[in-house]
Amino acid sequence: MEGNKGRVCVTGGTGYIGSWIIKRLLENGYSVNATIRSNPEHEKDLSFLTSLPGASQNLQIFSADLENPESFGAAIEGCIGVFLVATPIDFKGREPEEVVNKRTIDGTLGILKACLNSKTLKRIVYTSSASAVVFNGKDIEVMDESFWSDVDYIRSLNSSGDSYFISKTLTEKSALEFAEQHGLDLVTIIPSFVFGPFICPKLPASIYTSLAMVFGDKDQYSYLINFPMIHVDDVAKAHIFLFEHSNPKGRYNCSSDAITIEGMSEFLSSKYPDFTIPTVESVKEIKGYKFPSLSPKKLLDAGFKFKYGINEMFDDAIQCCKEKGYL
Ligand SMILES: NC(=O)c1ccc[n+]([C@@H]2O[C@H](COP(=O)([O-])OP(=O)(O)OC[C@H]3O[C@@H](n4cnc5c(N)ncnc54)[C@H](OP(=O)(O)O)[C@@H]3O)[C@@H](O)[C@H]2O)c1
């Protein structure tokens, strides 16, 4: 039976955000074509997707890889919407910048070219990232969608996440330009650190970073100086909200809260006394990149409402990590 709202495609179905969007789309009455990367050496266990409520009737799985954009054609066919969520995420600098850029930009533009031939498609929602906004060297505490990261500035930071930050910036720009030139209805959504529960099998990297003080991983503390964040369920709902909106335009920040490293130390030690959390005094010494907050005004003005706050983000992530044996 076809979901009564129509069929949509979600790329990156095995990922943290992709799997949560699929769950919400199925609950909302959509049929979903989810793409995953197949691995000939070891078959992926997709039961976390195929056991979702509604999946047996309304979820179809397709194999596709950004290395070969034509591989997305079958999953896009007959869809009214495409959610472009998949991206290679490499914070260890394993691959050179050019290789990652080529895969993400060519892969995304290849999918958009396939979308041009669709007779059914109404809108594409591209999942960008705060890293396409915040790295511009400007000392501003809250940034709206008019800010773009500067690729040379990112390179000057010499961080192991450079290739990811650069590829997100250039891919979002290229996707918006391509859509403008070819008359495609495409919006981008820009989440900050995404946090909360998860259904995917791997511990998501953004949850690991957000819970760095709980896991005791000091190497991650440098990301926490000022930490903008958003609950995964709000992110998924914002994707669907923008897809269903009558006339969205351009980029939309999606970030509900921010907390400083001192605030996080205080909050975690009073709320979760069972964990050994570094003291406020000790974290004052930590040096790192001070992320600005992202203004969600444009998304809120369009009518979206955030449901979750910092309490739920930490409660849900910790609970889920305990249930899955990570804590
Ligand atoms: N999590 C955050 O805090 C956050 C914040 C802002 C924006 N985002 C954006 O949200 C999106 C999803 O991130 P996530 O946190 O859910 O990450 P994730 O769990 O690592 O998911 C990434 C997904 O992309 C897929 N992928 C990687 N390389 C691919 C390729 N060459 N071809 C096809 N698929 C490929 C992965 O498939 P495999 O399972 O096969 O590797 C996985 O399904 C990304 O675009 C990311 O930039 C995330």
DSSP 8-state secondary structure symbol assigned to residue 273: T
User: Which protein residue has the closest C-alpha to ligand 1 atom 20?
Assistant: 15
Which atom of ligand 1 is the closest one to the Cα of 37? Answer: 40
Which parts of the chain are beta strand (E)? 7-10, 31-36, 59-63, 81-84, 123-127, 142-143, 186-191, 193-195, 226-231, 251-254, 257-260, 293-294
Q: What is the pLDDT of residue 32?
A: 98
Q: How far is the CA of 65 from the centre of ligand 1 (A)?
A: 12
Number of alpha helices (DSSP H) and beta strands (DSSP E) in the chain:
15, 12
Q: Which of 9, 10, 11, 16 to mutate to test the pocket of ligand 1 (most atoms within 8 A of CB)?
A: 16
For the 7-199+229-255+292-307 domain, the top CATH level (class) is: alpha beta
Q: How far is the CA of 88 from the centre of ligand 1 (A)?
A: 6
Domain ranges of the chain: 7-199+229-255+292-307
Q: Taking Cα atoms as reference points, which of 267, 274, 238, 3 lies closest to residue 127?
A: 238
Residue ranges of alpha helices (H) inside 119-161 are 151-157
Q: Which residues line ligand 1 (CB under 6 A)?
A: 12, 14-18, 37, 65-67, 85-89, 103, 127, 129-130, 168, 191, 193-194, 204, 206
Per-residue pLDDT of the chain (327 residues; tens, 9 = 90+): 566 899 999 999 999 999 999 999 999 999 999 999 988 778 889 999 999 999 999 999 999 999 999 999 999 999 999 999 999 988 887 888 999 999 999 999 999 999 999 999 999 999 999 999 999 999 999 999 999 999 999 999 988 889 999 999 999 999 999 999 999 999 999 999 999 999 999 999 999 999 999 999 999 999 999 999 999 999 999 999 999 999 999 999 999 999 999 999 999 999 999 999 999 999 999 999 899 999 999 999 999 999 999 999 999 999 999 999 999
Q: Residue 297 — φ and ψ, nearest 5°?
A: -55, -40
**Residues 243, 317, 132, 33: what is their CA dihedral angle, to the nearest 10 degrees?**
-40
Q: For the purposes of burial, counting CB atoms within 10 Å of the CB of 221, is it exposed (0-12), middle (13-18) or buried (19 or more)?
A: buried
